Chain A
Amino acid sequence: MAKTAQEKIDAKKEKEYYKKHKKMYRTTPGDVVFNVINYLFFGVFTVSCIFPFYYLFINTISDNELVRTGHVNFYPMIVKGGKNIFGIMFNNYVALREVSDLARAFIVTISRTIIGTILMVLASAFVGYLVTQQEMWHRSFWYRFLVITMYFNAGLIPIYMNMELLGLTKNYLVYILPAIVQPYNIILVKTYIESIPGELEESAFIDGASYMQVFSKIIFPLSKPILATIAIFGAVGHWNSFQDSLLYMKGDTSLMTLQHRLYDYLTQASDIGSLMSQGVDTATAARKMEEALNAKVIRYTISMVSVIPIFLVYPFMQRYFEKGIMLGAVKG
């Protein structure tokens, strides 16, 4: 985790402060008990947040037969010379190529993440800038026109029927167009731009710059921190998107997103599970069980693949989301 210089200085100051006032902060037995309980609780909770992902991961890099028999619990295992030993293998990730339609789902998801995020960020930046311009014709009306959409919602079915009306069902554009104008992000950008000294803009106008020039040369570069924040949230949202694919791609599997695919694989497997509990004839059940168990590893692997990008961008996100959530608290 990258620490900024300021954070380092702060930490140092804090340490010195505690050293200086050591007497005031002497620990009592009560403190020890409190600390033990406190650390224990947070330790356990943190493990509960990490372990599932770790568990998924070790199962995808172990021998499939050992996974099937449930031997892989805490570390990856492979079979070597008839013995189960610690070891890893990546066969499952290679085998993913065989899983039908997965590559397509990947392309759909990656492309919508990139295109959708870029358009959303540009639109938020530009609209956020426009609504700070007092001269705009009926500015406050148009600003409210956008913001008010955050507070009402026509409902799932009318929205679905609207997409149908616009010819956007079974259409890739349904992933991109509705997500371009995001009132909440526009508010964030607007608040941020208002904190930029107005003199910068004014001097540019005096030098004869146009609105577009001021936006692209001054406002856009200066608001990069907030744009990075909304970009990250937007990208995660696109990557995780599941509902729009579920609603609008009924009967058109070629445009499903990754999460929708994963959902399909998961529910297929659990259907087989429920068949078992209801007790269909054993031969069919055994065969289906076999498939389900192979499906288990594949399921884990697909889950892992769709979670890895989040983990990869996560360290970058951390720097920004605190800022984002605080700015969100002072909207207006």
Chain B
Amino acid sequence: MKDEKTELSGSLNIAYMIQRILIVLVAGLMFFPFMNPARICGMISDKISIFTSAISYGTLTDDLGRAIEQGWVDETVFFILFAGALLALLGIIATGAGACMSLGNLKFKRTGALITLLGGVVELVGYVICFVSYNMLNSGDMTPTQFASKLEKKIEPMFPSGVFVYGAAAVVVILIALLLLAKLPKPEAEEKYEMESKYKLFLMFLPFAFLAFLFCYLPLYGWRYAFFDYNLGDSLSMDKFVGMKWFGYLFKNSATRNQVAQVIINTLGISGLNIITQWLPMVFAVFLCEMGSMKFRRFVQAFTTIPNFISWVLVYAVALSIFSTDGFINTFSKSIGLLAEDAQGKNYLMGDHFTWVKMWAWGTWKGVGWSAIIYIAGISGIDQSLYEAATVDGAGRFQKIWHITMPGLLPTFFVLLLMAIAGILSNGLDQYLVFANADNMAHINVLDLYVYNLGLGDGNIPLSTVVGVFKSVISVILLFSANALSKALRGESIV
């Protein structure tokens, strides 16, 4: 393979740099709602980005349904707008593809420049169409009712200033692409499409990094709701910016403070029960391995692991079938005469007695068999000659367990304990959501459930975001402290 890497001149490199930065910026910006070129009126949500506008007509015109139905606005305007947004999105994607190709050899670079050029033009056309739809909405030939409704019903045509920002970027991209097409030397006829392997690998990886960005990094942008007075469905404008109000509210408002205090006590209580019984799976495994019959061991292992694979909803279904008013416990008590035939059974799932212990018990029932597997594997990894030597020396069963098995399992136990401590604030939502009822709400309300109910039940988005932010930050700090502790004590990290 001959190396045909052509050194580009400095000015071309700079041109490439500017073009790539612009393309990456626009590709990132298209997920953020500010300066959305498709937001041509106040009734288009200010929480949607050009990306969302382009992929979902339903979301774009979510609040406009009534206005269109009543003939206040002409729906074709929004079809045109949607088409414009879609074109713009396709254009952005094409410029991105072109930029990716520019990482290759000369032939790739030229094709890439061409695609970038075409993409830029399509993108620009898209913005122009958005702008045209704005003009159609704003002026043009309107029926008198449409004109009146424009003023009264808050259609509020809005000048989409984003068009010019995005448009300017597109123009620069186009100009640079033209420049590149003119300046790049013509590839030789027999040259093939080639790219250095480091870029090839990177480009193959890129789509997945992009997904991770969308679903793991982009949500952090939602933390902004903590700084606004915001209700679900409202618009999010700067005049609703309240700074740290909600952070203070958490501590100043006594009702909220008491509630949050109770929630934190519940969270720590239930997690605490789980942490102090963290040794259960280990003991479970040790005693399981003490049983001589391999068949019985296999049998026990197979069936005690099953609950781990059942969803919490199904666990709740099971719980209902056993403990509810007409469940097994009550019907069985009736059939053996413990309970009168016509008595109203007791629903063991209602009531608020020992809620923490009950939740701990369900979690343990579901998880202990599964958690024991790692210890069982650990036990089978212990050197058998140790046991033989101990037997020869006259050690009993418990001595062997205490002096050989336990020390062998301790490192694993330690890691899992640290992980449990790091996750002390995260009990998960499912279990508590399904088991919660009016009676036990006071003691079952853990942080995850509280945030869910506060945010999506009561619609207090800012406050629930604040609680979530605190939870996330503390969890990360705990995790890294646990990691540092592990490093200091064992010389190994756990994350």
Binding site for B on A (CB under 8 A): 1, 11, 14, 24-25, 31, 34-35, 38-39, 41-43, 45-46, 48-50, 52-53, 55-56, 59, 68, 70-71, 73, 123, 126-127, 130-131, 133, 135-139, 142, 145-146, 149, 151-162, 164-167, 171, 177-178, 180-181, 183, 211, 236, 239-243, 246-247, 250, 259-260, 262-263, 266, 269-270, 273-274, 276-277, 293, 296, 299-300, 303, 306-307, 310-311, 314, 317-318, 321-322, 325-326, 329
Q: Distance (Å) between the CB of B93 and the closest chain A CB?
A: 16
Q: Is B56 touching A167 in the complex (CB atoms < 8 A)?
A: yes
Q: Is A70 touching B287 in the complex (CB atoms < 8 A)?
A: no
In the assembled complex, which residues on chain A have CB atoms less than 8 Å from the CB atom of B200?
211
Set B51, B208, B334, B434: member contacting A263, Cβ < 8 A: B434
- Convert B465-495 into 0s and 1s, putting 1 for each residue whose CB lies closer than 8 angstroms to a CB of A: 1001101100110010000000000000001
Q: Is A56 touching B321 in the complex (CB atoms < 8 A)?
A: yes
Tell yes or no: B52 within 8 A of A by CB: yes
In the complex, 22 of the A-B residue pairs with CB atoms within 8 angstroms, ordered by the A residue number, are A14-B294, A46-B300, A48-B365, A126-B208, A127-B208, A130-B201, A142-B209, A145-B209, A153-B472, A156-B451, A156-B452, A157-B468, A158-B223, A158-B225, A183-B212, A242-B312, A259-B311, A266-B316, A266-B320, A270-B437, A273-B347, A277-B347
- Please tell me which stretch of B9-17, B108-116, B214-222 contacts chain A, meaning at least 4 of its Cβ atoms lie within 8 angstroms of it: B214-222
Set B218, B310, B438: member contacting A274, Cβ < 8 A: B438
Known contacts A70-B326, A73-B331, A322-B373: A31-B397 contact under CB 8 Å? yes
A153-B472, A242-B430, A269-B320 given; name 16 further pairs at CB < 8 Å: A38-B290, A50-B306, A130-B204, A145-B212, A158-B220, A161-B222, A181-B215, A247-B456, A262-B313, A263-B316, A263-B434, A303-B317, A303-B321, A310-B310, A314-B302, A329-B412
Q: Distance (Å) between the CB of B469 and the closest chain A CB?
A: 6
Q: Is B369 touching A49 in the complex (CB atoms < 8 A)?
A: yes
A311 to B309, CA, bound (A): 9
Tell yes or no: B2 within 8 A of A by CB: no
Set B58, B335, B430: member contacting A73, Cβ < 8 A: B335
Tell yes or no: B47 within 8 A of A by CB: yes
A46 to B350, CA, bound (A): 26
A31 to B291, CA, bound (A): 11
Q: Is A181 touching B211 in the complex (CB atoms < 8 A)?
A: yes
Among B55, B328, B495, find the residue whose CB has the most chain A CB atoms closer than 10 A: B328
Q: Is B317 touching A262 in the complex (CB atoms < 8 A)?
A: yes
Q: Is A136 touching B202 in the complex (CB atoms < 8 A)?
A: yes
Tell yes or no: B404 within 8 A of A by CB: no
Q: Is B216 touching A149 in the complex (CB atoms < 8 A)?
A: yes
A278 to B182, CA, bound (A): 82
In the assembled complex, which residues on chain B have CB atoms less than 8 Å from the CB atom of A153?
472, 475
Q: Is A325 touching B374 in the complex (CB atoms < 8 A)?
A: yes
A263 to B436, CA, bound (A): 12
A203 to B76, CA, bound (A): 60
Binding site for A on B (CB under 8 A): 31, 33, 47-49, 51-52, 55-56, 58-59, 197-202, 204-205, 208-209, 211-212, 214-223, 225, 287-288, 290-292, 294, 296, 298-300, 302-307, 309-314, 316-318, 320-322, 324-326, 328, 330-332, 334-335, 347, 349-350, 365, 369, 373-374, 377, 391-392, 397, 412, 429-430, 433-434, 437-438, 448, 451-452, 455-456, 461, 464-465, 468-469, 471-472, 475-476, 479, 495
Interface of B is mostly: helix
Among B204, B317, B455, find the residue whose CB has the most chain A CB atoms closer than 10 A: B317
A225 to B218, CA, bound (A): 34
In the assembled complex, which residues on chain B have CB atoms less than 8 Å from the CB atom of A35?
291-292
Q: Is B291 touching A39 in the complex (CB atoms < 8 A)?
A: yes
Q: Is B314 touching A303 in the complex (CB atoms < 8 A)?
A: yes
Q: Which B residue sits closest to A326, measured CB to CB?
A: B377
Q: Distance (Å) between the CB of B340 and the closest chain A CB?
A: 13
A73 to B327, CA, bound (A): 10
Q: Which B residue sits closest to A310, measured CB to CB?
A: B309
In the assembled complex, which residues on chain A have CB atoms less than 8 Å from the CB atom of B328?
55, 73
- Ranked nearest first, the 6 interchain pairs of A and B with the lowest CB-CB distance are A155-B468, A158-B222, A70-B331, A240-B311, A154-B219, A136-B201
Q: Is A11 touching B294 in the complex (CB atoms < 8 A)?
A: yes
Q: Is A45 touching B202 in the complex (CB atoms < 8 A)?
A: no
A151 to B374, CA, bound (A): 22
Q: Which A residue sits closest to B287, measured CB to CB?
A: A38
Q: Is B330 touching A70 in the complex (CB atoms < 8 A)?
A: yes
Q: Is B48 touching A165 in the complex (CB atoms < 8 A)?
A: yes
In the assembled complex, which residues on chain A have CB atoms less than 8 Å from the CB atom of B412?
329
Q: Distance (Å) between the CB of A85 and the closest chain B CB?
A: 16
A3 to B309, CA, bound (A): 22
Q: Distance (Å) between the CB of B249 and the closest chain A CB?
A: 16
Set A41, A145, A155, A239: member contacting B287, Cβ < 8 A: A41
A310 to B479, CA, bound (A): 33
Q: Is B291 touching A38 in the complex (CB atoms < 8 A)?
A: yes
In the assembled complex, which residues on chain B have CB atoms less than 8 Å from the CB atom of A151?
476, 479, 495
